[in-house]
């Protein structure tokens, strides 16, 4: 298992990591509760059970590393697979949840294309990500420049919210819900994080796009697709048969003959 994955899972056990997970759970739980269908899949991060409020009859958790199953997940994995080559037929899943799966994918573009492939038309994808344009992201950039210690997990590509929306649009995945959160400063102590509880209220109002994390829901649109209702039989209208010119002239002559 790569060092970036280990550092991510270890970081999620810290006060800041638990703060992030709590915010993401609340958003994902509310979003997936009313998404209907038959088949749902979550890619990665078993610490966040993004499907437990969803009522679909078939649910899977997919991991891309065997070692991840021992990292304290809250539910058991169903399969281990490459996120860029999912073992599902095209247009077979109603919901896919990606909690930080794109950031730690070897090829986030390929992963997103694969998600679009397996989604049914009007299927939903739920994505959680870290915002590089935030106080947490700024601290991470400074650390990489040698101006302090890393705060966020090492490794991975933190994808900006607006950049991700562009990727989704190119795949005909239309964003229908988006939100930023986690406005507290990059602090490691739970005590100090609690002292900045007011930052979440103020940030959501005054600088909403600078939250440390973002969450969005997108729906797969298929051009030219039209939902069909009940087919009603209509009365068949018989078209008037064409009358030949010769027959019309003969009738007229006969009429004149007998007048």
The residue segments making up the domain with residue 160 are: 3-227
Q: How many domains is the chain partitioned into structurally?
A: 1
What is the domain-level CATH number for residue 36? 3.40.50.150
C-alpha to C-alpha distance for 5 and 68, rounded to whole angstroms: 8
Mean pLDDT of 44-61: 93
Residue 233 covered by a domain: no
Strand 173-181 and strand 119-130: pairing?
unpaired
Residue 246 CB coordination number (10 Å): 8
Question: Is residue 174 one of the residues assigned to a domain?
Answer: yes
pLDDT digits (tens, 9 = 90+) for 148-192: 888 888 777 889 999 999 999 999 999 999 999 999 999 999 999
| Tens digit of each residue's pLDDT (9 = 90 or more) over 12-22 | 999 999 999 99
CA distance 51 to 126: 11
pLDDT on residue 130: 94
Q: If you search the block for the tokens 């979440």, which residue do you land on?
A: 200
Residue 257 domain-assigned (yes or no): no
pLDDT at 242 over 70: no
Question: Using only C-alpha atoms, what is the Rg of the chain?
Answer: 28
User: 241 lies in a domain?
Assistant: no
Per-residue pLDDT of 85-101, as tens digits, reads 999 999 999 999 999 99
Chain segment 197-235, per-residue pLDDT in tens: 999 999 989 999 999 999 999 999 998 655 554 444 444
Closest CA to 157 of 102, 119, 118, 237: 102
Residue 53: inside a domain: yes
The yes-or-no verdict on residue 248 having pLDDT over 60 is: no
d(CA 212, CA 135): 7
Residue 180 covered by a domain? yes
Whether 256 is in a domain gets the answer no
What are the tokens at 1? 């298992």
Q: How far is CA 159 from CA 67, 143, 162, 167, 209, in A?
A: 25, 18, 9, 10, 14
Look at residue 162 and tell me if it is in a domain.
Answer: yes
Q: Say what the pTM is.
A: 0.81
What does the pLDDT read at residue 68? 56
């Amino acid at each position: 298992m790569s060092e970036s994955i280990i550092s991510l899972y270890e970081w999620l056990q810290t006060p800041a990591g638990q703060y992030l997970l709590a915010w993401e759970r609340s958003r994902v739980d509310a979003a997936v509760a009313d998404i209907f269908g038959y088949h749902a899949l979550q890619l990665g991060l078993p610490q966040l059970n993004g499907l437990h409020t969803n009522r679909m009859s078939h649910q899977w958790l997919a991991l891309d590393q065997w070692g991840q199953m021992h990292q304290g997940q809250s539910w058991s994995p169903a399969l281990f697979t490459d996120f860029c080559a999912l073992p599902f037929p095209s247009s077979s899943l109603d919901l896919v949840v990606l909690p930080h799966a794109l950031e730690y994918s070897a090829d986030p573009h390929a992963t997103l294309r694969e998600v679009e492939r397996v989604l049914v038309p009007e299927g939903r994808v739920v994505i959680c990500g870290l915002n590089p344009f935030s106080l947490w992201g700024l601290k991470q950039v400074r650390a990489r420049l040698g101006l302090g210690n890393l705060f966020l997990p090492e490794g991975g590509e933190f994808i900006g919210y607006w950049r991700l929306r562009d990727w989704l649009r190119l795949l005909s995945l239309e964003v229908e819900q988006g939100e930023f959160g986690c406005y507290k400063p990059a602090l490691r102590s739970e005590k100090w994080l609690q002292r900045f509880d007011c930052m979440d209220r103020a940030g959501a109002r005054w600088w909403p796009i600078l939250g440390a994390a973002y969450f969005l829901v997108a729906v797969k649109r298929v051009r030219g697709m039209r939902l069909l209702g009940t087919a009603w039989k209509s009365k068949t209208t018989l078209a008037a048969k064409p009358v030949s010119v010769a027959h019309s002239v003969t009738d007229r002559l006969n009429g004149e003959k007998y007048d």
